[in-house]
Structure 1
Amino acid sequence: MFQDIKYLSFGEAGILLEFGSVMDKEINLQIHKTAKWLNDHPFDGFIETVPAYTTLTVLYDPMKFIHFKKSAFELAVEQIRNKLESMPDENSSVGRTIEIPVCYGGDFGPDLENVASINGISPQEVISIHTEKTYYVYMLGFAPGFPFLGGMAKEIAAPRLSSPRLSIPKGSVGIAGEQTGIYPIETPGGWQLIGRTPTKLFTPDQDHPVLLQAGDQVKFYQITPEEYHAWEAEHEHHD
């Protein structure tokens, strides 16, 4: 795997490690393992890693390499290669499996019937297909803790809305193309909303504010509106 990585310059203080060109769970898992290894075993000048679907950006301080004949980029690449040579080749998963309750349809999922219509199936079939899969968190993006989930069945794929909503309630579960995701905060957005979870994905006042991490797996299960409100009331009470 590591001999196939391409090292590309990313500005004056970054290196883009390209692991592949297609979205693949095994490649993405390797990216997150590599990011964790570099974070746990930093080289001199290391700042941070930024994982994405098929790439890992490593940010570093070029001033650490200013007194050497080679360029900062070349020296930083050497440092990364050296670190990766000592990385254990293990197959264990880095993530957890987290079950997320969802109330589908109605006010909770106003686009459920539209997604069903697009695919020529019933709303209940959309729910059944959506809950039978286990999803993989490829990355977190655009809003704090927003998980981009891979592994959704093509039978319920649906395009983004032609006109995005100005406000989407937090906890909304949506579909865009062949991906599904959860809005952790109230925000504008263009995904087709099929349901909503009472589970809090982003709690800024906690030590670990983001519930899901890249590399985790997510399993959805259906709850009723009554169960949704009971869950919400119970957790509000505990908070």
Structure 2
Amino acid sequence: MKKSYYLNIAISITLAALLLTGCEQNAAQKASTQPTSAITSPASTNNKAESEINYTEKLKSEGYSTKDIESAQSYVSRIVLQLNEIETFRGINTEPAGIGSENTDDSSKYSELLSKIDEQKAVYYLVKLNSDFNSIEDALNEYLLALQSDLDIDTYFKSKEKYNEAKNKKISGTNSDEFITVSDIEEKAIKTLQNVNNSRNNSNQTVPGINNPNQNPAPDVINPQPNIPSVEIPRPIDPSQEIRDKLGPQQ
């Protein structure tokens, strides 16, 4: 009797331990399947929000006309295109060394400026600045100056006084010629294209695809030319001759 009593107690303890272990495992599984809240850093949220801004729609919501926006887009695109031309053909120089001034290439400054320009933002600020400046060129010059001197252009629209104070501190003691303007970009682009054209006749400098556009890049490869079939062009019928033919020969 005592043996069976102790045996029953042992069995009861074992069953209780198994039940407790199963409950703990189920609780752990349920806890692991519960969704966890994602933690998003403020920096990543701000960057994503900024990248999703539609500056065109933002300008329209602020009351600017479609005509003003399209004019600014066209103007910015032209300047960016010229900067890309300077970047593409940088280093091409047909002037002999030692002639004229120092003969230095400042294309790197234009490349650096190009890397700082966001076309959508440039259009946005150009439209907003244009109302305060004499021309669209002056407005873009102000934006380019802000980029080159690390000025926060948004300060201009919050407090022009604070912006001008910061601007004066940034450019004080600096030669104004050091900052690239729209006029500088246009002149540099023209000079770059002239150098490209001059390089065609310069035997000391080879520009692939520019010196001789008809040059075969692979000399051993024969480029077959298609045979152009001859086409007989019909002559117009002379109405008077047609009538004489129908009437037959005259007696």
Q: TM-score, normalised by structure 2?
A: 0.23
Larger % of strand: which?
1
Larger % of helix: which?
2
Larger radius of gyration: 2
